[in-house]
Amino acid sequence: MHKATLPAVTLASLMFVVSTLVAQTSQPSSGMSNQSKSPPKFSPISTGSADPQIVAAVRQVTPQHLRTTVEKLVSFVNRSTLSASNEKLTAQGLGVVNAAKWIESEFQRYSKECGGCLEVKTDTFIQQPEERIKEPTQITNVYAVLRGTDPENAKRIYLVTGHYDSRNSDNFNISDPAPGANDDASGTAVSLECARVLSKLKFSATIIFLAVAGEEQGLDGSRHFAKMAKEQGWNIEAVLNNDIVGGNTTPGDTLQNKNEVRVFSEGVPNAATDADLRLLKSLGGENDSTSRQLARYIRETSQAYLPGAFHPKLIFRRDRYLRGGDHTSFNNEGFAAIRFTEYREDYHHQHQNVRTENGVDYGDLPKYVDFNYVADVARLNAATLASLAAAPAPPANSRLVTRSLENDTTLTWEPSPGGLASGYEVLIRTTEQPYWEHVSVVGNVSHAKFSESKDNVIFGLKTVDGKRHKNIIVIPQPQK
């Protein structure tokens, strides 16, 4: 057979191409997403992609399951934390003690359905007397742990909670009805529903589904739990507190908005040290706490998983006037935590004896709860928890270089712990904007330099894996 030969010019060209490729691949990585000398470019942020498994789990949330949970909790008549001392009520299978046992049994039922995937636990302690507790009182927090499948990433914890205790007009009334359908059987139902639908999946990180008591007496249950977590070194990266998420439905109320749920987040961290506060004041970082980044993450998650009318309304303050919630207990220990609350509350249906007075109906009854609304809140919680637990860990030790006066901005960071990250994204927004505006996909690198001035914009950094799961944005700290 005749053997063909390539023309000399073709061989020369081929050798040039090969030598060029070899030279390029032998060069060390510059840490940039492209090899050109020009800095990476930013593009407008687009809606993120949705994980099909998470979509399927979110679709399993149903108003009927939530209604069943709320009505069951209401059936315990009086769930005041102080009713633990009402032996007659307890003997009848009612009161806060039996409510806790029922919640525990629900977690155990979910665990049985998923082959023992949940570790069901209680955190029981004696609360000593204080302003709203006259005598030592037993308080029980009930929780279920969906342990992460990857040993390193399982150390990261994402937590959802609601408080199952209730009260009526008199804090010390431990026998008359205190239905607490909206405040806060609705939030407890969200935590339980998230456990029911997410326990069917596997995640790299750990999720905790929690129901606390003692909220109405001064956040006693959540404070004890948050302190325990801090003392034991738990790495809780996000807490979702659901309190009054029933979408109150009062006949004739035209101002209620069933398409929005408020998300409260602290700006200046409660746990900030003096050094933290000096840096915050110097850089104008009061709008970039970890809790506020969590709130922004919830907004992004909503756009990906709940593309319809329902969405979160971010409120940039810790909580409402004259009120408090269990997320604050976690904030106080340095954890990122937010509060979900319905758009508009009706105070006739909170902390009230059930009655009709001067033509006005009082009492926190199930008939004022919109279970379709609660289902939307539960879907948003479930999507957020699942997205976080499936995502790689945030980058470690992210820094913004400030060694000299220059207009360019250089960021450095260490790899995301746990080995799940396939790349990183750098985000910016101008200082007056509440939400991130532009993104630069820099790839699997450890530093990047931009022409945008750090004096004019705020920089953020996030991790991404091969399936486009993303974690909460972190703010690089100045490095001299």
What does R_g of the chain's alpha carbons equal in angstroms? Answer: 26
Q: Give residue-wise pLDDT tens across range 98-122.
A: 999 999 999 999 999 999 999 999 9
With tokens 């009230």, the residue in question is 352
Tokens of 319: 């909580």
**Centroid of chain to Cα 102:** 25
- 5-9, 141-145, 249-253: least confident range: 5-9
Three-state DSSP at 44 gives: strand
Three-state DSSP at 179 gives: coil
The rounded percent of the chain whose pLDDT value lies above 90 is: 89
Q: Give residue-wise pLDDT tens across range 421-453.
A: 999 999 999 999 999 999 999 999 999 999 999
- Span between the terminal Cα atoms of the chain, in Å: 71
Closest CA to 216 of 177, 163, 252: 163
Is residue 370 within 8 Å of 310, Cβ to Cβ?
no
- Sheet harboring 260-265: ordered strands across? 118-127, 137-146, 206-212, 156-163, 235-242, 337-342, 260-265, 311-315
Residue 39 has pLDDT above 80, yes or no: no
* C-alpha atoms less than 13 angstroms from C-alpha of 369 in its C-beta half-sphere: 33
Mean pLDDT of the region 12-37: 40
Listed as own residue / partner, the contacts of 152-155 with beta carbons closer than 8 Å and 24 or more positions apart are: 152/417, 152/418, 152/419, 153/204, 153/205, 153/392, 153/393, 153/418, 153/420, 154/204, 154/205, 154/206, 155/206, 155/235
Cα–Cα distance, 365 to 181 (Å, whole number)? 5
Cα–Cα distance, 255 to 368 (Å, whole number)? 15
H-assigned helices in 239-360: 274-283, 290-305, 327-332
Q: Give residue-wise pLDDT tens across range 192-202.
A: 999 999 999 99
Task: Tell me the whole-structure pTM to 2 decimals.
Answer: 0.91
DSSP string for 1-13: -PPP---HHHHHH
Q: Which DSSP symbol is given to 107?
A: H
What pLDDT, on the 0 to 100 scale, is given for residue 148? 98
Q: Give residue-wise pLDDT tens across range 386-399.
A: 999 999 999 999 99
Tell me the pLDDT of the chain averaged across its residues.
Answer: 92
